[in-house]
Amino acid sequence: MKKKLGAISRWVSSSESETKKIGKLLAKKLIPGSVVALYGELGAGKTTLVKGIADGLGIRSQTKVSSPTFVVIHEYSGKCKIYHLDWYRIKKVKGVDAQMAQECFYSQGITLVEWPQRGENLLPEHFLEVRISHQNLTTRIIEVSAK
């Protein structure tokens, strides 16, 4: 299905593995330099979706994709470099964290950001916005739009 810029695609996931599959599909839309901003409360499934995206981008299965909550960034090598940022622990992104993010955004890698609201002003002009919300314990609504 072809979608217009800004058009929202909406998915309903009823399990962790379904969210990973959606991530794998989403990966097909990403090219070097793409930035994905992942919104959603704790436990929404942002990291789970990133695992699916990483799988879709050819990250070897023995590479453990986990949340970079404490270290701010994880870097993986697949079809291109993948930068997985998590700004949960940063109130407002600035200084070296901001500089590091900019280097990722304007690189030939693919950057995935959890808690992008902590540094919204740093996001590039064009990016993919993903919003994940809880429907119940195992059901999530995943909305994707181009910004």
Ligand X SMILES: Nc1ncnc2c1ncn2[C@@H]1O[C@H](COP(=O)(O)OP(=O)(O)O)[C@@H](O)[C@H]1O
140 binds ligand X (CB under 6 A): yes
Interface residue list for Mg ion (CB under 5 A):
46-47, 67, 114
Residues 6+ apart with CB under 8 A from 62: none
Tokens of 80: 């291109």
Residue of 2, 5, 6, 42 that binds ligand X (CB under 6 A): 42
Instruction: Tell me if 109 contacts ligand X by CB under 6 A.
Output: no
**Minimum distance of Mg ion from residue 60's CB (angstroms):** 21
**Interface map 53-92 toward ligand X (x if CB under 6 A):** --------------x-------------------------
Contact partner, 140, from ligand X, Mg ion, none, Cβ < 5-8 Å per class: ligand X
- Decide if 137 contacts 51 (C-beta within 8 A): no
Sheet containing strand 81-86, edge to edge, reads 9-13, 140-146, 128-134, 35-39, 110-114, 81-86, 73-77
List all residues 6 or more positions away from 3 whose beta carbon is below 8 Å from its beta carbon. 9, 146
CA-based end-to-end distance of the chain: 18
From ligand X, Mg ion, none, interface partner of 44 (C-beta below 5 to 8 A by class): ligand X
Give the residues lining the site for ligand X (CB under 6 A).
13-16, 18-19, 40, 42-48, 67, 114, 138, 140
